[in-house]
Amino acid sequence: MEKRLMELMKENKAYEIRSELLAMNIVDIAHILEEVDKHNLVRLFRILPKDMAAGVFSYFSPEVQQHIVEAITDNEIKTIIDELFLDDAVDFIEEMPANVVKKVIKNTDENLRKQINQFLNYPEDSSGTIMTIEYVDLKKEMSVKEAIDHIKKTGIDKETINNCYVIDPNRKLEGVISIRKLILSDESNFVEDIFTKDVISVKTIDDQEFAAQLFKKYDLMSMPVVDNENRLVGIITVDDIVDIIEKENTEDIQKMAAMEPSDEEYLKSGVFKLAKHRIIWLLVLMISATLTGNIIKKYDDVLQSIVILASFIPMLMDTGGNAGSQSSSLIIRGLALGEIRIKDALKVLWKELRVSIVVGSTLAFVNFLRIYYLEKVDFKIAITVCITTLLTVVLAKVVGGLLPIGAKALKMDPAIMASPLITTIVDTFALVIYFSIATLLLDLGA
Amino acid sequence: MEKRLMELMKENKAYEIRSELLAMNIVDIAHILEEVDKHNLVRLFRILPKDMAAGVFSYFSPEVQQHIVEAITDNEIKTIIDELFLDDAVDFIEEMPANVVKKVIKNTDENLRKQINQFLNYPEDSSGTIMTIEYVDLKKEMSVKEAIDHIKKTGIDKETINNCYVIDPNRKLEGVISIRKLILSDESNFVEDIFTKDVISVKTIDDQEFAAQLFKKYDLMSMPVVDNENRLVGIITVDDIVDIIEKENTEDIQKMAAMEPSDEEYLKSGVFKLAKHRIIWLLVLMISATLTGNIIKKYDDVLQSIVILASFIPMLMDTGGNAGSQSSSLIIRGLALGEIRIKDALKVLWKELRVSIVVGSTLAFVNFLRIYYLEKVDFKIAITVCITTLLTVVLAKVVGGLLPIGAKALKMDPAIMASPLITTIVDTFALVIYFSIATLLLDLGA
Confidence of residue A57 (pLDDT cuts 50, 70, 90): very high
Q: What is the mean pLDDT of residues A298-325?
A: 85
pLDDT in tens, B16-34: 888 888 888 888 889 888 8
Q: What is the mean pLDDT of residues A218-227?
A: 91
A353 contacts in chain B (CB < 8 Å): none
- Give residues with Cβ within 8 angstroms of A348, minimum separation 6: A331, A340, A401, A402, A405, B266, B267
Phi-psi region of B22 (alpha: psi -120 to 50; beta: other; left: phi over 0): alpha
Confidence of residue B287 (pLDDT cuts 50, 70, 90): confident
The answer to whether the Cβ–Cβ distance between B155 and A183 falls below 8 Å is yes
Between A62-76, A196-210, A262-276, the lowest mean confidence (pLDDT) is in A262-276
Q: Is the dihedral of CA B426, B259, B414, A283 positive or negative?
A: negative
- Select the residue of A266, A322, A358 nearest B258 (Cβ to Cβ): A322
- Select the residue of B152, B266, B351 nearest A183 (Cβ to Cβ): B152
Measured distance CA(B435)–CA(B446) in Å, rounded? 10
The answer to whether the Cβ–Cβ distance between B242 and A243 falls below 8 Å is no
Question: Over pLDDT 90: what percentage of chain B?
Answer: 26
Q: What is the mean pLDDT of residues B200-221?
A: 91
Confidence of residue B200 (pLDDT cuts 50, 70, 90): very high
What does the DSSP assignment read for B241-268? HHHHHHHHHHHHHHHHTT-----S-GGG
The answer to whether the Cβ–Cβ distance between A307 and B322 falls below 8 Å is no
A275 contacts in chain B (CB < 8 Å): 355, 358-359, 362
Confidence of residue A133 (pLDDT cuts 50, 70, 90): confident
Cβ atoms within 10 Å of A442's Cβ, excluding its own:
17
| Interface residue of B156, B249, B302 to substitute, partner A, most A CBs within 10 Å | B249
Given this model, what pLDDT does residue B44 score?
87
Confidence of residue A270 (pLDDT cuts 50, 70, 90): confident
> Which residues make up the CATH 3.10.580.10 domain(s) of chain A?
137-236
- Select the residue of B253, B308, B330 nearest A297 (Cβ to Cβ): B308
For the cut 70, the answer to whether the pLDDT of residue A367 exceeds it is yes
Bigger pLDDT: A3 vs A130: A130
The answer to whether the Cβ–Cβ distance between A267 and B351 falls below 8 Å is yes
Name the strand (E) or helix (H) holding A72.
none
Identify the burial level of B87 via C-beta atoms within 10 angstroms of its C-beta, where 0-12 means exposed, 13-18 middle and 19 or more buried.
buried
The answer to whether the Cβ–Cβ distance between A160 and B180 falls below 8 Å is yes
Given this model, what pLDDT does residue A157 score?
67
pLDDT in tens, B123-144: 888 998 888 888 888 999 999 9
- Select the residue of A152, A279, A326 nearest B258 (Cβ to Cβ): A326
Assign domain A289-441 to its CATH architecture.
Orthogonal Bundle (1.10)
Phi-psi region of B443 (alpha: psi -120 to 50; beta: other; left: phi over 0): left
Question: Over pLDDT 70: what percentage of chain A?
Answer: 98
> Which residues make up the CATH 1.25.60.10 domain(s) of chain A?
2-121
For the cut 70, the answer to whether the pLDDT of residue A444 exceeds it is no
Q: How far is A212 from chain B (nearest CA, A)?
A: 10
Q: How far is B282 from chain A (nearest CA, A)?
A: 7
Measured distance CA(A193)–CA(B164) in Å, rounded? 27
Average pLDDT across chain B, whole number: 87
Assign domain A2-121 to its CATH architecture.
Alpha Horseshoe (1.25)
A421: nearest CA partner in chain B? B322
Q: What is the mean pLDDT of residues B407-426?
A: 85
Given this model, what pLDDT does residue A156 score?
66
Given this model, what pLDDT does residue A185 score?
87
For the cut 90, the answer to whether the pLDDT of residue A100 exceeds it is no
B346: nearest CA partner in chain A? A267
A312: nearest CA partner in chain B? B293
A312 contacts in chain B (CB < 8 Å): 293
**Closest C-alpha to A437, from A306, A292, A297:** A306
Which parts of A257-312 fold into alpha helices (H)? 271-288, 290-298, 300-305
A281 contacts in chain B (CB < 8 Å): 322
Confidence of residue B353 (pLDDT cuts 50, 70, 90): very high
Given this model, what pLDDT does residue A446 score?
44
Measured distance CA(B353)–CA(B348) in Å, rounded? 8
> Which residues make up the CATH 1.10.357.20 domain(s) of chain B?
289-441
Query: Crossing angle for the helix pair B313-336 and A290-298, nearest 10 degrees?
Result: 150
A373 contacts in chain B (CB < 8 Å): none
Given this model, what pLDDT does residue B446 score?
44
Q: Is the dihedral of CA A316, A360, A438, A377 positive or negative?
A: negative
Q: What is the mean pLDDT of residues A133-152?
A: 89
The answer to whether the Cβ–Cβ distance between A283 and B366 falls below 8 Å is yes
Task: Provide the number of CB pairs (under 8 Å) joining chain A to chain B.
Answer: 347
Average pLDDT across chain A, whole number: 87
The answer to whether the Cβ–Cβ distance between A271 and B354 falls below 8 Å is yes
The answer to whether the Cβ–Cβ distance between A294 and B287 falls below 8 Å is no
The answer to whether the Cβ–Cβ distance between A313 and B314 falls below 8 Å is yes
For the cut 90, the answer to whether the pLDDT of residue A423 exceeds it is no
The answer to whether the Cβ–Cβ distance between A256 and B253 falls below 8 Å is yes
A337 contacts in chain B (CB < 8 Å): 246, 250
Q: How far is A106 from chain B (nearest CA, A)?
A: 31
Phi-psi region of A69 (alpha: psi -120 to 50; beta: other; left: phi over 0): alpha
- Select the residue of B148, B317, B337 nearest A183 (Cβ to Cβ): B148
- Select the residue of B281, B318, B424 nearest A427 (Cβ to Cβ): B318
Measured distance CA(B348)–CA(B292) in Å, rounded? 28
Q: What is the mean pLDDT of residues A232-254?
A: 89
Assign domain A137-236 to its CATH architecture.
Roll (3.10)
- Select the residue of B249, B279, B311 nearest A293 (Cβ to Cβ): B311
Measured distance CA(B270)–CA(B283) in Å, rounded? 20
| Interface residue of A266, A369, A390 to substitute, partner B, most B CBs within 10 Å | A266
Q: How far is A13 from chain B (nearest CA, A)?
A: 22
ipTM: 0.78
pTM of the model: 0.79
pLDDT in tens, A21-36: 888 888 888 988 888 8
Assign domain B137-237 to its CATH architecture.
Roll (3.10)
The answer to whether the Cβ–Cβ distance between A289 and B319 falls below 8 Å is yes
The answer to whether the Cβ–Cβ distance between A322 and B363 falls below 8 Å is no
- Give residues with Cβ within 8 angstroms of B443, minimum separation 6: none
The answer to whether the Cβ–Cβ distance between A314 and B286 falls below 8 Å is no
Cβ atoms within 10 Å of A135's Cβ, excluding its own:
23
Q: How far is B303 from chain A (nearest CA, A)?
A: 7
The answer to whether the Cβ–Cβ distance between A215 and B242 falls below 8 Å is yes
Given this model, what pLDDT does residue A402 score?
92
Given this model, what pLDDT does residue A306 score?
82
Measured distance CA(A58)–CA(B209) in Å, rounded? 25
Bigger pLDDT: B272 vs B354: B354
A148 contacts in chain B (CB < 8 Å): 183
Q: How far is B255 from chain A (nearest CA, A)?
A: 9
For the cut 80, the answer to whether the pLDDT of residue A340 exceeds it is yes
Q: How far is B180 from chain A (nearest CA, A)?
A: 6
Confidence of residue A405 (pLDDT cuts 50, 70, 90): very high
The answer to whether the Cβ–Cβ distance between A337 and B246 falls below 8 Å is yes
Given this model, what pLDDT does residue B279 score?
82
- Select the residue of B24, B293, B427 nearest A311 (Cβ to Cβ): B293
DSSP code, position B232: E
A359 contacts in chain B (CB < 8 Å): 275, 278-279, 282
The answer to whether the Cβ–Cβ distance between B323 and A278 falls below 8 Å is yes
Bigger pLDDT: B227 vs A420: B227
Amino acid at B231: R
